[in-house]
Chain A
Amino acid sequence: MKELERARWRCRRGLLELDIVLQRFMDRHYLQLSDKDLQQFATLLDLSDNDLWDMVTSRKEPEDAGLRPLLELLQAV
């Protein structure tokens, strides 16, 4: 229950850059995500702001290569 709302709140970050990118991602992609995607999205949201931003801007690779497809969506929004 209220998973969308929880995710939306956890997209509130310390960096405005991430606030905006994650809001766009929520609006465009969240509802289409599979269960596996959702799990991976939660993993990404648990990262610290700077690590996540580095991945969104392709300056850092995720340790888990499985996160790449989802990151590509985030990079494109």
Chain B
Amino acid sequence: MAIARRKFDAVIVGAGGAGMRAALQLSEAGLKVAVLSKVFPTRSHTVAAQGGIAAALGNVTEDNWHWHMYDTVKGSDYLGDQDAIEFMCRQANEVVYELEHFGMPFDRLENGKIYQRPFGGQSQNFGGAQATRSCAAADRTGHAMLHTLYQRNVRANTQFFIEWMGLDLIRDEQGDVLGVTAMEMETGEVMVLEAKATLFATGGAGRIFQASTNAFINTGDGLGMTARAGIPLEDMEFWQFHPTGVYGVGVLISEAVRGEGGYLLNKDGERFMQRYAPHAKDLASRDVVSRALTMEIKEGRGCGKDADHLLLKLDHLGADVINMRLPGIREIAIKFAQVDPIKEPIPVVPTAHYMMGGIPTNFHGQVVAPYKTGPEEVVPGFYAVGECACVSVHGANRLGTNSLLDIIVFGRAAGNQIIEDLKKSPHHKPLPVDVADRTLARLARLESQKGGESVAQVGTALRKTMQAHCGVFRFADMLKEGVAKIGEVAERAAQTEIKDKSKVFNTARIEALELDNLAEVALATMVSAEARNESRGAHARDDFPERDDEKWLKHTLYFSTDRRLDYKPVRLKPMTVESFPPKPRVY
């Protein structure tokens, strides 16, 4: 079957903040750039980022990038690569001023400088007083960023392929990446998009969990494509859980509710956080509160007929405070929990929020893998940035406001690296003859499948398995069982059947293809988590409650093709400053 082909200098999959920042760099340099997106670019999940973007501008209180670097290394529970963290923190001011110059509507101080606000985990003077480091556009920083970048890209002639889904990575015999296969949803046609540089910016994959704050589009498509192409995924056991997602739907209830005096209760009406964090109580850090909720449920003190959630009480704050200081919370509770928080508590559970792991890259955005001789060899032609990448600046735990910084710093860095790399290799390499075979085989399987389960059914099984076996708190027996179970789910995912076989706008087919990617991410997560016999950052093991730097100060690499694990050292040596050696992480 002849497949249509199109050639570009660079193909970017994903049009969130990371993809659009990279695209802008490339288009403004005069390169021919295609950006693929499943949805209209400004509807990417970056829009959900509220907190702001971290940069040590020092507009409100004294600050410097080295303090920011320390906070990030400590926050990562020492799993973050210190060269990448130094790179990110040093560039923060510049990229924020650049966004300002692009027209991003940051909030202002009276003196006209960018307004900054304090945020958890940010300190002055290496763990001293609270820093004021987050630059924000009201509580809609991600939204403002996306719109600013989209407008700039349109002006720079970036070519958007909207409602297109990337399907598989194209690699030749040497392992070089030469583009992607992709499907246009409107026609159902598969096309080969040939590129000298292929960049993935496909975002997170929180939809592998039953309780997730992520939008439905976050199915880990870039990770699935990468894993199928024989490139490992890094540190997939590390997922950040937010303690208060609305039970049953996942919608986030902001930390501001507890900041204003709301607190958590178990089925006995007890303020259980007092037992877990006697000082900070309900305001302890996200991982601590999430673990406490999980313990309460595990020990039978959960609420409701299935004893599977806790309650967030705020009625004592009174209608005025709730309406004035917590805008939007009441609407969310009524709409998604069917309770009016002025009268009743909100049912909540710890909810998957952010994936720290991903496609392994260096701080130039180049994908690195141990596929030839060294553990971190550049995969020519392949780049990744944003939540789908593991650079790794967040290590085992991400700090709030560092993800918007991550996507902008590394989006730009990857753009610059591609410009340099294309000067050295300005021509397209010849495509392999079997260029689209993998993709066509997957589609043919779907077309001819008889007697398989529905995508929805297998998707539900996948999410339930991940939630039960690989959630906030992890138990050896549950993980072991989980590896077997998720393996079975992956088998079932490979045999789903769709009723609609038509070509035009077939969302059933799209969802089946998304499930392939979810299955890759779920397997990588479960297998990596089962093997890591320590607790570090977001990975909390019941049987190994301590961090073990002796044995586990290393990055996990998961290879999908034979479900094998390998490890590589953490980059403890920064670019110019002294290393921050691992210390107990106390706040």
Contact = CB atoms under 8 A, between A and B. Distances in A.
A binds B: yes
Interface of A: 1-2, 5-6, 8-10, 12-17, 19-21, 48-50, 57-59
B438 interface: no
A16 B505 contact: no
Contacts of B331: 57-58
Given A5-B506, A14-B45, A58-B331, 6 more contacts: A16-B249, A17-B251, A17-B332, A19-B215, A49-B43, A57-B328
A14 B47 CA distance: 6
A73 B87 CA distance: 49
A21 B185 CA distance: 23
Interface of B: 38-39, 42-48, 140, 143, 146-147, 163, 185, 212-217, 249-252, 327-328, 331-332, 335-336, 502, 504-507, 510
Contacts of B505: 2, 5-6, 9
A30 B506 CA distance: 18
Q: Which secondary structure dominates chain A's binding surface?
A: helix
Contacts of A16: 48, 212-216, 249-252
Contacts of B336: 17, 20
B507 A14 contact: no
A17 to B, nearest CB: 5
B504 A49 contact: no
B47 A49 contact: yes
Nearest to B144: A50
B43 A14 contact: yes
B215 A14 contact: yes
Contacts of B332: 17
B507 A15 contact: no
A14 B44 contact: yes
Contacts of A6: 505
Contacts of A19: 215-216
B47 A9 contact: no
A12 B510 CA distance: 13
B249 A20 contact: yes
Nearest to A13: B43
A12 B268 CA distance: 39
A8 B328 CA distance: 25
A12 B143 contact: no
Contacts of A20: 249, 251, 336
Contacts of A12: 38-39, 43, 215-217
B46 A14 contact: yes
Given A12-B217, A13-B43, A14-B48, A50 B143 contact: yes
A10 B216 CA distance: 12
Contacts of B216: 12-13, 16, 19
Contact of A49 (B143, B250, B502): B143
A27 to B, nearest CB: 13
20 contacts: A5-B505, A9-B505, A12-B38, A12-B215, A12-B216, A12-B217, A13-B215, A14-B48, A16-B213, A16-B214, A20-B251, A21-B335, A48-B42, A48-B43, A48-B147, A49-B43, A49-B143, A50-B47, A57-B331, A57-B335
Contacts of B44: 14
A15 B335 contact: no
Contacts of B163: 9
Given A19-B216, A57-B328, A13 B39 contact: yes
A8 B217 CA distance: 13
Nearest to B336: A20
A21 B331 CA distance: 12
Contacts of A49: 42-43, 47, 143
A9 B48 contact: no
Contacts of A5: 505-507
A64 to B, nearest CB: 20
Please provide the 7 A-B residue pairs with the shortest distance between their CB atoms, ordered closest to farther.
Answer: A14-B47, A2-B505, A57-B331, A14-B43, A19-B216, A5-B505, A49-B47
